[in-house]
Amino acid sequence: MNQITVEIKDQKDIITARQAVRDMARKLGLRLADQTRLATAISELTRNVIQYAGNGVCAIRDVSDAHVLRIVAVIEDFGPGILDVEKAMTYGFSTSKGLGAGLPGSKSLVQEFDIQSKPGNTKVTIVVCRRRV
């Protein structure tokens, strides 16, 4: 199992995290569109960390097996938390000046998406998986 952890403290870390996930996806043999989907989702989610929490961590793991290529990414922060997760997942809703496309947009790019939030801890888990060919 291969894991990369990127600390998210400023804007440059958004780029580091999305490059790291792209690299891992490419090396695993995921197609370019999937590499881009993953990198874009990571970009959205780590930006949320910077914007709403200030800092956090992005952990990317390769948990592929003989049949399936699978990358799991966990983006976690220790900020104020999301007051209304359901609302935050609605397209067009934003508490900042954003487009409100970040969370629902990322969700539509991946196969699995989970978000847990309480004051002091928000954790988003995304999974991209593809059958090996």
Coil, helix or strand at residue 125: strand
Strand pairing category for 121-131 and 68-77: antiparallel
Question: Closest separation between CB of residue 105 and other proteins, Å?
Answer: 4
By CB under 8 A, the residues from 63 to 122 that bind other proteins are 91, 98-99, 101-102, 104-106, 108-109
Which CB sits closer to other proteins, 33 or 66?
33
How many Cβ atoms are within 10 Å of 41's Cβ, its own excluded? 26
Q: How far apart are CA 50 and CA 89, in angstroms?
A: 18
Q: Which residues sit at the interface with other proteins, rule CB under 8 A?
A: 11-12, 14-15, 18-19, 22, 32-33, 35-37, 39-40, 43-44, 47, 91, 98-99, 101-102, 104-106, 108-109
